[in-house]
């Protein structure tokens, strides 16, 4: 069943909301895959939210819904499978500190503490001259008793540690490349310690500057619930929320634990926990089958003649549709679902239409779909998809599906 009255409108969220850029303030603190741009959330909350309403994001990722909700005086609840959500969000809520980066760096350099992550492959990802410097820096971090002091160092340390690793940031999962190896060789030539602490001092300065920018936007003290490191697909929403605003993973672009695991190891998460969480990502888990009330879903399914792709397609939609089936009664007013038309073997898949058709069949009204061209959101770019060697046909736009009860 399709809502024929729903309209499609092409807009630019960046031009409709008064936020200087997608990376302004705390929105650009950390490089998270497929980050939810603040302009989309701000547009929704500005036009549909009212003070003291509550907003829910079950696929919160970096936590942008929470930081924007505070600007509009809305309570919020955020979930994510990735445990890093909790610490990243706590960093964004810090008051602007008075801190001397050079003094912090000097104290860190004098520290005798060491920390080695519970990671069997740590030596593969870090050169033997880099590891001792990182172990001392993270040893100092984990020895700090004051949470605020640790939070101030969290993102600077994560960013510089990754910069000094063999990881290629242009790829979706941890991956060595000639480019990343050359980067580390350059660091070794220039001197590891001097480079590391210079970058760290600059990142601390950047953090303070971005916290000040966010503070100048006047965030409000609201009620919040943050659940990180949980199985979003089975978690129960115990309190009715007025608005759902979320950007669920796109088809095969769901391996965020595999991207974030380097950071999680340094933060202190054990290897066993990270393996357990990785197995809960949609492509790697068994998902209960549900009835999918979408003609588009079934028409496209008939055209898939490759067994592996059929499993990916089925698993994804049964997971996402099953999730919305389970929590829809706890959403009191509207749902805003932001997705792109990901491709499978070069064929675009209209995730927005399939989800909207199913929810309309469940009694929701599809008011409109707002289409926004992607300009800078994608983190990974390829000429060809590395898994299939088919020309990259990733979504050129993203769509905000607006549904009401």
Range of the domain at 135: 101-215
Write out the E strands in 271-330. none
pLDDT tens string 282-298? 988 989 999 999 999 99
In 3D space, the residue among 141, 215, 71, 170 whose CA is nearest the CA of residue 383 turns out to be 170
The residue among 164, 181, 215 that closes a domain is 215
Question: Distance of CA 251 to CAs 3, 12, 32, 317, 336, Å?
Answer: 24, 24, 17, 8, 18
End-to-end CA distance of the chain: 16
Whole-number Å distance between alpha carbons of 144 and 107: 11
Among 165, 193, 215, the domain-final residue is: 215
- The answer to whether residues 336 and 399 belong to one domain is yes
Please indicate, yes or no, whether residues 39 and 175 belong to a single structural domain of this protein. Answer: no
Residue whose pair of structure tokens reads 């930081």 in the numeric block: 67
- How far apart, in whole angstroms, are the C-alpha atoms of residue 79 and residue 246? 10
User: What is residue 170's predicted lDDT score, i.e. its pLDDT?
Assistant: 80
Residue 209 shares a structural domain with residue 300: no
| The predicted structure's pLDDT at residue 394 | 52
Residue with tokens 């001097």: 194
- Predicted pLDDT of residue 377: 45
What are 175-228's pLDDT values in tens digits? Answer: 899 999 999 999 999 999 999 999 999 999 999 999 999 999 999 999 999 999
If one counts the domains in the chain, the total is 2
Parts of the chain with a pLDDT under 70: 1-5, 252-254, 374-395
CATH code for position 13: 3.40.50.150
The Cα 341–Cα 132 span in angstroms is 44
Q: Do 35 and 390 contact (CB within 8 A), yes or no?
A: no
Residues 190 and 234 in one domain: no
E strands, 278-396, are: 331-340, 343-344, 347-348, 365-373
Last residue of a domain, one of 165, 185, 215: 215
DSSP states along 144-176? ---HHHHHHHHHHHHHHHHHTSS--TTSSSS--
Cα dihedral 167→398→337→293 (10° resolution) = -110
Tell whether 260 and 395 lie within a shared domain: yes
Neighbours of 303 (CB within 10 A): 7
């Amino acid at each position: 069943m399709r809502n024929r009255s729903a309209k499609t409108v092409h807009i630019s969220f960046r031009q409709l909301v008064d936020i200087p850029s997608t990376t302004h303030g705390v929105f650009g603190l950390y490089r998270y895959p497929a980050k939810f741009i603040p302009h989309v959330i701000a547009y929704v909350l500005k036009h549909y939210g009212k003070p003291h309403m509550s907003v829910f994001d079950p696929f919160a990722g970096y936590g942008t819904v929470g930081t924007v909700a505070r600007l509009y005086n809305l309570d919020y609840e955020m979930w994510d499978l990735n445990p890093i959500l909790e610490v990243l969000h706590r960093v964004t809520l810090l008051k602007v500190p008075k801190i001397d980066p050079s003094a912090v760096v000097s104290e860190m350099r004098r520290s005798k503490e060491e920390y080695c992550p519970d990671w069997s492959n740590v030596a593969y990802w870090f050169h033997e001259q880099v590891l001792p410097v990182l172990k001392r820096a993270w040893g100092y971090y984990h020895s700090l008793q004051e949470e605020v002091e640790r939070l101030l160092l969290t993102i600077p340390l994560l960013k510089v540690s990754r910069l000094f690793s063999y990881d290629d940031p242009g790829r979706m999962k941890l991956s060595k490349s000639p480019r990343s190896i050359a980067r580390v060789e350059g660091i070794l030539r220039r001197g590891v310690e001097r480079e590391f602490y210079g970058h760290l001092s600059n990142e601390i300065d950047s953090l303070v500057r971005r916290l000040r920018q966010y503070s100048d936007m006047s965030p409000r003290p609201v009620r919040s619930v943050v659940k990180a490191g949980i199985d979003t697909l089975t978690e129960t929403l115990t309190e009715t929320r007025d608005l759902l605003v979320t950007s669920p993973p796109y088809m095969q672009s769901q391996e965020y634990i595999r991207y974030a695991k380097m950071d999680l190891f340094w933060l202190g998460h054990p290897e066993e926990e990270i393996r357990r969480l990785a197995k809960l990502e949609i492509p790697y888990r068994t998902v209960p089958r549900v009835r999918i009330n979408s003609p588009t879903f079934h028409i496209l399914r008939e055209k898939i003649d490759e067994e592996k792709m059929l499993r990916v397609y089925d698993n994804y939609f049964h997971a996402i549709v099953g999730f919305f089936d389970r929590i829809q009664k706890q959403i009191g007013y509207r749902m805003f679902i932001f997705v792109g038309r990901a491709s499978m073997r070069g064929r675009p898949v209209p995730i927005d239409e399939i989800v909207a058709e199913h929810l309309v069949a469940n009694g929701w009204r599809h008011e409109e779909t707002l289409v926004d061209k992607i300009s800078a959101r994608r983190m990974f770019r390829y000429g060809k998809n590395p898994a299939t060697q088919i020309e990259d046909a990733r979504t050129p736009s993203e769509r905000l599906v607006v549904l009401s009860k």
